[in-house]
Structure 1
Amino acid sequence: MKIRHFLTFLILLSFSVYSQDPKIESLRKLSIDSLKKLAKERAKLPTDTILVDIYSVLSGKNLYKDNIESKKYATIAYKLASKIKDEDGMASGRNDLALIELSNGNANKAYEMLKTNLKYYSSVNNFFDLGTNYLNIGVVHGSQAQYQKAIENIEKAIFYYKKSKAPNTRLAGCYGMLGNAYSCIPDMEKSIKNYLKADKLETEINDKISILNNIGKAYSDFKKYDLSIQYYQKALLVNDKIKSPYHYMNTMLYIGELYLKLSNPKKAISYLEKGKYYAEKENHLENKILINRNLSEAYSILGDYKSSLIYLKKYTELKDTLNKKSNTAAVKEIEAKFELERQDAKLTLLENQKKLNEADLKKSKIVMVLGATVLLLFIILSWYWYKRHKIKTLLNLQQKEQFKTELKLKEVESTLEGQLAERKRLAQELHDGLGANLAGIKLSVINHFNKLGDKNESLIKDLDGVCNDVRLMSHNLIPPEFSKDTFEQIIKRLIQNYASQTQTKLHLNIDGSKDLEKMTIHQKTLLYRILQEIVTNAFKHANCSSISLLVTAFNDYINIIVEDNGIGFDTTKQFEGIGLKNIRERIKDLNSYLTIDSSPGRGTVLQFDIPI
């Protein structure tokens, strides 16, 4: 939710792909249809920077609405700019493509494009676009929960915007992004301070409403509910000037959610019903889902279970609709292909009819038209049957594959149970056998040296180290009982166990513990072993005084971030040991990959996602 909150301003800042050029600003005022027509006319002339700018603006206008179209136009703009060696146009194209890649979830690709632009804009002292580029890099870092890096880059953007004397609306956007970043850290004082700066500078009404809503959300997050209500009400008053259904929908939803927090279901219902009206008007599926869920909860608190059930059913239906969107898209693609073939058949029929008219064979014409019509119907019905049969066959194959997968999972779980039992036995042997013997040997050695009058502290210290290693090995081998305890409880015990054996400070933060239980036993076991290995590696090699572990569970994946303040290492040169290789292999078994951010003297950050 923090990352989603951080990206609230991404659509608001869509203007950032354009240069500070009067020609670009005049093109932005044109509609998409007018721009397409203009592009068609300009394409007849030799390629120039104006045509590049037209396609760049077309890309920006489609951004976040239709990313496929946006990427198409951005690619055309970049290729045309390359053709005529227009460096500014190429940089603008890379900027457009970077924002598209970011909105599609390809943060690393977006970052590399923006880094290339930094070199160019620095070389030509283009401070305005340099500010835009740093702002977009800040957005990329924010999307990856790297909030400190996001703040550093947004502050650079402010510096260059001020240096280029950029309009206040640009600075307002930057301060709004800083407010989001500090809200995610969280730092209430700095978050609110930057939001208020944005509010003061912003003059564009749509952006101002978004900023006021963000201030309201920030105060709500920090439990300053009275101030939160004040800013939501300000957003409504400003929106009364333009009467935007979209902004009414969002603000009504936020106020309704706030009154639910305050256990005031009647007021919550009042605002949620208004929000529902505007969500229906805007046909905004995601907000309709949220509003119906909140209305069900509000009526349930009031004891009106009949109304609560009605909204709960509606919420379930809308969720199903959202889940079916991908399937609907596939069906539409098949229908489009079918329609194209139907149109082709229709054209063939018209051509035949034209030939019959020219030959003036009235009777033959009727026969041929009838025959062609019957044939067309037969082709359409045959094609429809074939497609339906193909889809049915595909579904059967998918069901068989799913059955095979389930069998394999059961085999893996059985093998895993055997391995866990053997680990438990080995752990008991180490603890009760070897551990007890070592403790006895240690006492005998101490008694022996006491009789000799020699303490020999170094030998005793070495024996203590061996005993601790055996104890740690036995604890690590004991498999956690996932069927009895929650994963959160098991991880907390793991961290407490490590904390009791070292001076290193360990910090654990778990968000979304219910979603953690969606993992299978196999996934839980692998993740448990991965976290064991990461923390053990940090103890042994990082020479750190603090380790932070952040586990965030979402609806369909779990994000893991482990950070230490140790010596760090050069990821491009460091040879990976067995421990790190084991970690990568286990993460690969979870259908994921490991990202490492480290440099000498700056600690290490490990991050990966687990699909659930």
Structure 2
Amino acid sequence: MGQVKDNFIKIDSIQRHVLSKPNKDSLTIAIANYTIGELYRYSLVADSAYAYYHKAEKVFKRKNLQYQLAKTFYGIAVIQCNEKDFTGSEVTSIEALSLLDQLKETNDVNECKSFIYNNLGLVFGELEQFNESILYYKKAIELKEKLNGNNKRTLDNSKNNLALSYKKSGQYDLAIASYSQILKDKNLIIERPDFYALVIDNYAHTLYLAKDLTELPDLFLKALKICDSIGANYNSIIINQHLAEYYYDIKNIDSAKYYAHKAKNIAENYHNDELLTSLLLLSKIEEDSLAVLYYNKYIKLNDSLVKNERNVRNKFARIRFETKEIEQKNIQFAREKLWLTIISIILLISALLIYIIITQRSKNNELRFVQKQQEANEEIYNLMLSQQEKIEEARVLEKKNISQELHDGVLGRLFGTRLSLDSLNMAASEEAITTRAKYIQDLKKIEEDIRKVSHELNADFIGGSGFLDIIKTLLDSQTMAYKLNYEFNHDDAINWEDISNKKKIHLYRIIQESLHNIYKHANANYIKIGIRLKNNVILLSITDDGSGFDVNKAKSGIGLKNINSRVNEINGEIRINSKKGEGTTVEIQVPI
């Protein structure tokens, strides 16, 4: 009773010095409400404890203080368990655990978890779901054994609760072993005599249920003596009940009645479940009218306790309901504010989308213009190549005509003349012979020169030179415009006559696009272009001494995308090597 009085003094102090003062921030008030809720819970004033916990809960939830909220839920769950709202206590405990699972596993978090597991063990024990009860007690013990500091007191409590579930589930050997482990502590009777008496009683009662009566009733009497010596009247109720059961079982009815009445008389001061148990025990031990009297009292008290429990739970529900009404109004205000925000955002997004659409349309028009320009350039280039081919065909034809004319006309006549002069060589004079010999020698030289010219004219010595000339013209014009120095190396082994116009056009455009990219992005002074043939594959390389870039991080612009697209069109492969400050090399392989 002294502890309860101290609690009420603390409550009054907090209400006067914290809650009554203006200008206190909401968190300070919430902590004060939580503390008052704890004090009321320890004082067994359930409805007041619940009300103050609930006030603290709203603030902790609004400020997203998960640890403080979990502790508040634990306090509410304990109250619900005490008031026999076991389902509500289970739900609240699980909600508290879900909050703690989101937090880092600190000592405080694990301690709170262990308390919640212990409460769930109590809940499932009351629901007679002992497997679940034992599981949660073991979880509580496992966590408590890992906590910092001296946790022996709360650890012993959980071990006692575990043993109680073993006892209620009929696992007497496990219960006896658990109680024996607790009783090994020789200091327990000095440090916590009330708890020591409780464990002795539970141990003795387990022996009684296991039909091991060798140490009975001495253990019961030892526990009762300790309680009487320290004034632990409430704990003595259960011990007296157990003694009454024991004596009734061994047919010592007088002693059974004595201890049953003693339990009832003490329990009448508390008017709770222990009084209910005592009345039911007396209805079993007493005879005839007295048995009926006590049973009627049992029924009346049971109805009263059930009604009181229902009233408390209704009070809890009413607190929740009133809070929900306020929360619903706040939600309505928040919803209206949200809709206003959403409409504003939609209008802003709409304006932004319209701007983007207009800008994108302008860019698309510009892109289409560039594409049309590229198509026109390609068409012009195709015409240039076609014209070049026609010119080449005309030149070849003309050479053949000249060759034929030289061979069939001039050479024939010169050959005839030489024969005539040769026939005149039969003249006797020395001078005639010398002159004719000179003319014949001159004619032979002319014949050889004409034959040589004829063969050279007949040879197609310009095959492939046209495309390379076009590339060189492109390089001359572009590098002059871009103020670049260049070096162009090419392999004469490539027969450009056998390469399709499509591939030549794409190669031309790739070089053109690369020059443009180098000018625009590379800040280069010198470029080197190489075209060679290897294993029936054309190898095009373009190297610059520009600023370079990180190939893995760089975004592909339109120029690079166009180059990749052209390479794919001619079934080629492209590889780009570049480092910042070390220039760039583009290597393209095109199969013939």
TM-score, normalised relative to structure 2: 0.45
Q: Which has the larger radius of gyration?
A: 2
TM-score, normalised relative to structure 1: 0.43
